[in-house]
Structure formats: C-alpha cells, structure tokens
Chain A
Amino acid sequence: DVKVTQSSRYLVKRTGEKVFLECVQDMDHENMFWYRQDPGLGLRLIYFSYDVKMKEKGDIPEGYSVSREKKERFSLILESASTNQTSMYLCASSLYGGPLSYNEQFFGPGTRLTVL
C-alpha cells in the first residue's frame, strides 16, 4: 500500500514568512508532484520532480520553489508567503513511466495553508 504523507494537515502563517511543506512517500516512486487545489480551479501543478535533484516547473510555479535531496522526500517552499497562496496543497507520487504508460498518482492527505 502506497503511503504519501505530508508534514502538516493545517498551517497558519503570516505574510512574508518562509514556509516549508514536506512530503514523504514510501514506495520508491521516481515521480513526485506538488499541486494546489482551489474551488472552481481544480488541481493545478506547481512543480514536478522525476528524480533526485531534478525538478520541472508546472503550470503555476511563480512564488514557489522545491527541493528533492532524497528520493522519498519532496519539499515545497514559499519564499515569502502571500495571502493569495492560501490554499490546499496536495503532494503526489508515481512510478516513472514511458510514453504509453498509465501510471497512477498516489496522493497525500493535503495541507491546508492559511496566510494571514
């Protein structure tokens, strides 16, 4: 059973603070993802990593950075939190696949971040 865990379920931060969201998976997956989930906007990909120290921008990377120093851990960093980053953040992982693969993404429980 794949387990994807996120460091916090709820987080409250102040504008301008540096925020770290941590995600850990225990199934040796190559791919890891950070999404934000907002009502009416669905899931939007922030960043994606397919290997240690490798990262790729998603659809909305502005204001975020990521770190992948170990295969099982993928961190999302908000360098200077702003109120428009208040959202639900979801982490996911999957196996690395080729063009014809259909790899399932396994999701963490989410972190609800509020920036005041």
Chain B
Amino acid sequence: AQRVTQPEKLLSVFKGAPVELKCNYSYSGSPELFWYVQYSRQRLQLLLRHISRESIKGFTADLNKGETSFHLKKPFAQEEDSAMYYCALLTGGGNKLTFGTGTQLKVEL
C-alpha cells in the first residue's frame, strides 16, 4: 500500500539558515510527488511537483528513488516561509493524492 511519511511535526529554524523538510514514500509504482503548502489563514495550495523540476519561492525537491525520498530544501529560510508543508504522492491512476501528516515550519528571527 502507498504511504507518505513526514517524520517531523515541527521544524524550527532561524532566518537565513538552510531548511530541509523530510519526506519518504512507499509505493510499488512509478512515483509522482508533490509538496503542498498552507500559510496561516490561507487555503492549501501546490508548491511544487517533482516532474517539473522547478524551483518555487527558492524551494527545490529532488526525487531519490534509491532512498524513496522527496525532501524539500531551501538554502536560506525567510520569515514568510513559516507554514504547514505537506508531501503528497499521486495514486489512484493519476487522480488521487496520498498526503503525509505534515510538517509545521517556523522561521524565527
């Protein structure tokens, strides 16, 4: 069965420090992974998807099939990065997402 694991419930870093939000997955098929973000009092929205190999708001994520990981990284954290981050795996024939439990990122000044 598919599973997404985010081991950290809360990650606290100082402004300007590097950020890495961990995500590991378990899936028998070819994985397609996403990061979604929810800022305070805003709706959940897509941050980035691995297939696009893009950098959004300075964040990147590389799919490592050997380690079954899709960690989200940013070299220098900003205060506005404080939010809840969810890793998600595409399943159900390309129509459903399995979400991790989320990591709350807090960037302190």
Contacts and interface: CB of A to CB of B under 8 A. Distances in A.
A48 interface: yes
Where chain B touches its partner, the secondary structure class is: mixed
B44 A101 contact: no
Nearest to A43: B99
B49 A42 contact: no
A107 B95 contact: no
Contacts of A97: 93-95
Contact of A109 (B43, B97, B100): B43
Given A40-B9, A42-B99, A110 B43 contact: yes
B11 interface: no
Contacts of A58: 96
B46 A94 contact: no
B94 A102 contact: yes
B90 A102 contact: yes
Contact of A103 (B43, B94, B101): B94
Interface string A26-64: 000001010100001111110010100000001000000
A90 B44 contact: yes
Interface residues of A, number: 31
Interface string B31-67: 0101000000001111001010000000000000000
Nearest to A101: B94
Interface in B52-109: 86, 90, 92-102
Kindly list the 10 A-B residue pairs having the minimum CB-CB distance in the complex, ordered from nearest. Answer: A42-B101, A43-B99, A97-B94, A101-B94, A107-B44, A107-B43, A104-B46, A42-B102, A42-B99, A109-B43
Interface of A: 4, 31, 33, 35, 40-45, 48, 50, 58, 90, 92, 94, 96-110
